[in-house]
């Protein structure tokens, strides 16, 4: 194409607002499409996909026995040294072996959610879950202990995620939480 034709093309594009029309052709349909704004936290809550790395969970086997054997591998694998494990002899029969994580603690302020601790765990006791509302009003609240992490998870480990569920606000001594009501689920899109 000669320089003259190219200049004419540019001129006609300007006169007929071709760029503007092309842009509008892309954006205008969104004006009439369904909104995807989440009514969070009053009505809806987003459940992330299975691969999401949120608050740690310590898990039990099908018989309700603690999978953590206090081997300390997660503590050693952690690059920020935010996990503290003190093993102990299991005289209560709560665990799967005669050794148990007597004390298991994590400092969330130092955690970068890399997942290396989960990879190091030989019994699959430790998983990074889908809890993402981790803000708190005190530094102490950011230390999570074994008792808290062993609580039954409201989102099952094997649940695929990627859905919006009903939300309900729960107030307890730790503050206000947005809990997930898994009975109502809709796809993200
Ligand atoms: S996710 Fe990473 S930084 Fe956090 S506790 Fe595990 S290994 Fe440490
Ligand atoms: S969570 Fe896993 S890696 Fe960490 S102490 Fe327990 S069994 Fe060992």
Q: What is the number of the ligand closest to the CA of 69?
A: 2
Compute the distance from residue 77 Cα to the ligand 1 centre, in Å.
8
pTM above 0.85, yes or no: no
Burial (Cβ within 10 Å: 0-12, 13-18, ≥19) of residue 133: middle
The DSSP annotation for 74-130 comes to: HHHH-TT--EEEEEEE--SS-BSSSEEEEEEEEETTT-----HHHHH-TTS-EEE-S
Our answer on whether the CB atom of 185 is closer than 6 Å to any ligand 2 atom is: no
Please name each of the domains of the chain with its CATH number: 3-32 (no CATH), 34-49+160-189 (no CATH), 53-150 (3.30.70.3270)
The predicted pLDDT at position 99 comes to 94
The predicted pLDDT at position 1 comes to 64
Our answer on whether the CB atom of 142 is closer than 6 Å to any ligand 2 atom is: no
Which residues are CB-neighbours of 138 under 8 A, at least 6 positions away? none
The predicted pLDDT at position 126 comes to 95
User: Helix or strand or coil: residue 175?
Assistant: strand
pLDDT in tens, 62-96: 999 999 999 999 999 999 999 999 999 998 889 99
Rg (CA), the chain: 25
Along the 189 residues of the chain, how does pLDDT read in single tens digits? 677 888 888 899 989 999 999 999 999 998 888 877 888 888 999 999 999 999 999 999 999 999 999 999 999 999 999 999 999 999 888 999 999 999 999 999 999 999 999 999 999 999 999 999 888 888 988 999 999 999 877 787 788 899 999 998 888 777 788 888 888 888 765
């Amino acid at each position: 194409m000669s320089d003259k034709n190219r200049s004419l093309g540019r001129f006609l594009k300007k006169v007929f607002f071709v760029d503007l029309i092309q842009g509008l052709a892309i954006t205008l349909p969104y004006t009439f499409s369904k909104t995807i704004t989440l009514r969070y936290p009053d009505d809806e809550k987003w459940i992330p996909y299975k691969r999401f790395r949120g608050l740690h969970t310590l898990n039990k086997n099908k018989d309700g026995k603690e999978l953590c054997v206090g081997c300390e591998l997660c503590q050693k694998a952690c690059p920020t040294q935010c996990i503290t494990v003190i093993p102990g002899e299991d005289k209560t029969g709560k665990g799967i072996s005669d050794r148990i994580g007597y004390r298991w603690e994590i400092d969330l302020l130092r955690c970068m959610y890399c997942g290396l601790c989960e990879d190091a765990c030989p019994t699959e006791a430790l998983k990074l879950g889908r809890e993402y509302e981790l803000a708190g009003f005190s530094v102490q609240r950011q230390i999570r202990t074994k008792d808290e992490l062993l609580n039954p998870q409201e989102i099952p480990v094997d649940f695929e995620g990627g859905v919006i569920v009903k939300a309900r606000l729960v107030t307890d001594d730790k503050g206000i939480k947005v809990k997930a009501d898994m009975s109502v689920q809709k796809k993200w899109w």
